[in-house]
Amino acid sequence: MFEHAIRQELEARLTLEAELAIAAERDQFELFYQPQVRLTDGAVIGVEALIRWQHPIAASSRRGSSCPSSTRPLFPSV
């Protein structure tokens, strides 16, 4: 049972890595900038760059626009 779980996790990771490579080739990533606002006075003190994967499968299906937690384990921390 433990081996089966590890195998499933590995297969899922390899599938995701392959899909991400295809997404990069097909320009399926979209960049957004989110302001960082100081709460005391509402001043913009910086921005955060966010990337979203516009997966071709409908959002009601397996993917759609992916959330960061689904791909974050594949990328090193910056």
Q: What is the pLDDT along the chain (78 residues), one digit of tens a residue?
A: 679 889 999 999 999 999 999 999 999 999 999 999 999 999 999 999 999 988 887 444 555 555 555 655 566 554
In sequence order, the 6+-apart residues with CB closer than 8 A to the CB of 48 are: 33, 34, 35, 36
Residue 62 confidence (pLDDT): 53
Global confidence as pTM: 0.57
Distance CA 55, CA 5 (A): 26
